[in-house]
Each structure stands twice: as C-alpha cells, then as structure tokens.
Chains A and B, each alone.
Chain A
Amino acid sequence: MHYTIDPGLYALGNPSKQSPVLVTANYKMSFDKLREALPGRDMWILVLDTKGINVWCASGKGTFGTAELVNRIESSGISQIVLHRELVLPQLSGPGVSAHHVKKLSGFKVIYGPVRATDLPTFLDNGFKATSEMRLKTFTTWERAELIPIELVGNLKAGMIVIPIFFLFTLLGKSGEGWTNTLGHGLFSILGMLTALLSGAVLTPLLLPWLPGRAFSVKGLSLGILFTIILSAFGWGDWITRTGRIEILAWLFLIPAVSAYLAMNFTGASTYTSLSGVRKEMRWALPIEVGAGMVGFILWFGAPYIA
C-alpha cells in the first residue's frame, strides 16, 4: 500500500493560525501534486482517508465525502489550530461533499478550489476565486495520451489469452496447407489482433476529438475499418483465392468489432461521458460488436471449409 499516505493534518512550510487549510485525498499522487503545486507556501493540508484513491474517484464513491470530512475535521483538531473557519477543497470532490451539510455539521465553510492543483497559486492569490477556465475538467491530447499505457496493459493481458487461441486455431484448422502457410496465417492473426488493439486502445483515445461520431464505438469502428482496409491492401496478397477473400472478409468483421469494443471501454477513462449516455451507446453497440466478432471468427475459422 505504498500509494497511500496516513490521513490527518500536515503542515506545508511554516503555517500559522491564519494559514489556509487545503483538503485532499490520501492517494500519494494527489498529495504530492498538491505539495508540488505550492512551493514556498505556508499552509495546512488536511488529508482524508479515501482508501488510497484519488479525489475524483473517491468523491464519486463517497469516501471523499461529507461524513469523512466532518470526522476528519473533528479528529485532526483543526478548529483548535486555525482561527478561521474555511476549508479549500478540490472542485472534483463536489460529487461526494455537500458544502452546506459540512457547514451545518462542523461550522467550516467549504470553498471549492480549482480542478487542477497547478491552478492553486493563482486561485489563492486571487482571493480564493477560480476563473471559469479553472473550473473545467479538460481532456486534452496529452491527458488522453497519458492514459494509453494503462489501457494497453489491461488489454494486452486479455490479448495474451486471445492471440494464442487464434494461433492454436490456425494450427488446428489450416495444418493441411503445410507448415509455412500455417505459420503465415498464425502470424497474420497476431498482426490482425494487434492492429485492432492499436486502433481501439491507442489511436482512438489519441485522436478522439477528430474521429467521426459521438459514440466511442463509432469512433473505434471507423478507425478499425480504415485499418483493415490498409492492412488488406498492403498486408498480404491473398486476394486471388476464394479462401483468401473470405479471410479478408473475416478480418473486416473482426478488427472493427474489437476496435469498437476497446474504444467503447475507453468511456471509463474519459472525463465527459455520462452513465446514461454509456448505457444508451452500449444498448446497440455491444450486440453489434459481439455479433460482428462472432461472424468474423466463424468466417475466419471456416474459410478453408467454405471455399
């Protein structure tokens, strides 16, 4: 649990009885980002017990919530340490904290600070006022790029199961064609799966605002189709045989389906999708993705027999 720090009151620099009190989660990175944003400042930091989880997650869950805050105000003895009765909370703790209830229960006034810790110095210097820009949760290209490794690792774990299965099926289904051919098919299936992964879990997140459609599945689907076309145009010269054409068709189902599914799963990492929206998207997207995936797999596996 080295991502966790002990909840309680911390002093940043040399705080006095008048120094502001900032509240944060006991996820180490939340705490560190807060400290790093305030070099040379004297203030109090009240760390809540959010089970080592970041502010936004914890507030959605309620662990960064009214009850924990009120209890922590009490147990930290902050009311004896400072003379004022104000706490600066990260704006993204709003889903968990009810400012008027905190006031009623503890006497402390909750002031919502900016979304990003890096805006805190300006916020503090402007008399606890955040500009409208500071209040917006963005999802910039860089912020999306930062999420890609995590997405990739998670999906590669699943890929470690799926890719060998495809390889195994190649060996089973196409061994009649000779070893070199079988190996070629097997390697191509790996290439196909990696293409889907690249399309759905890397490039869709990265190119999100510029891809067509609002639903993430549509974004992933269009990129998947594009990649399959590129792959089938350059990747291999199997257009001649009927089996080859069926296989191309199979990948035309498989890659977009997987890409769309992975893109859909990126909704969880995004900062602007609503649950109602995700449910609506999934109602039509999930059956299509699963269906297209199954059709693709049947075509792929059955290609030598159908032809």
Chain B
Amino acid sequence: MGQLIYLKDVVTLKLDQKKCMGCGMCLLVCPHAVLGLTNGKVEIVGRDACMECGACVRNCPAEALQVRSGVGCAVAVINAMLGRKNSSCCCVIDLEEKSVDPCEGSTDESRASCC
C-alpha cells in the first residue's frame, strides 16, 4: 500500500526557489515527503501529498516557503461555520482562515480523533 493521497490540486504550498539556500530543513520536518533536494535547491516533488501542516514554512530560515496552514478536519470547519469555539472535537479553525487551534479545551481522549 503506497502513500495515501487526498484531493488533487488544492494545496496552497508555494516555494520560491530563488530564496532557497538548500539547507534541507524542510525535508526533515515534512511528514509526507512533499519536498526534495536536487542540486542544492529544494523542489516540490509531491504536492498532492501535502497536508498543509506548515512545518516546512516555520523551519525555513530563508522564508522561501509559504502555505495557508491548518488542520484538515471537517468537524472543525463546521464548528467554525456555526461559530462554536469549543465542542467535542478538538480542532478549532478561526473564520479568518489563518490561525488554527486544534485541541482547544479538550482534555479527554477525543482529541486523538481530531488531531
């Protein structure tokens, strides 16, 4: 069984190769092998596998990467639409589409189901 891939051509990941210094930090933090390093420059090799966690962006010292990061959780999106901040689901998404709050206020095991 190969890698699981979600929807195609939706991911907001962007790479500015001119800024890339080829340090390879993004490759280390990416949990889905989205990025590859060839001839000292990073390139996106598995765009559709990206889950927009934002790890690569945060660990890029050259600010060469960009993504609208968040948690891909339908319940959190519904909660955001309904204006609920806390619910049985742990993930909370701001309507601003920017910051994401997984696990808000949840201390029981249900957190594992969402994050």
Contact = CB atoms under 8 A, between A and B. Distances in A.
B46 to A, nearest CB: 11
Contacts of B101: 61
B103 A268 contact: no
B72 A273 contact: yes
Contacts of B100: 60-61, 275
A57 B92 CA distance: 11
Contacts of A231: none
Given A92-B31, A267-B73, A276 B52 contact: yes
Contacts of B78: 282, 286
Contacts of B49: 272
Nearest to A100: B61
Interface range, B side: 35 or more
Contacts of B4: 139, 208-209, 270, 272
B84 interface: no
Contacts, number: 186
A56 B55 CA distance: 11
B96 to A, nearest CB: 12
Contact of B29 (A112, A268, A270): A112
A214 B70 contact: no
A175 B26 CA distance: 65
Contact of A268 (B53, B56, B68, B114): B114
Given A94-B55, A214-B5, A137 B32 contact: yes
Nearest to B30: A135
Interface string A97-136: 1111000000000001001000000000000001010011
A42 B93 CA distance: 40
A265 interface: yes
Interface range, A side: 35 or more
A192 interface: no
Given A112-B28, A276-B12, A277-B6, A97 B75 contact: no
A265 to B, nearest CB: 5
A271 interface: yes
Given A94-B53, A277-B10, 4 more contacts: A61-B100, A268-B72, A268-B74, A272-B51
A86 interface: no
A274 B11 contact: yes
B113 interface: yes
Contacts of B70: 274-276
Contacts of B111: 53-54, 57
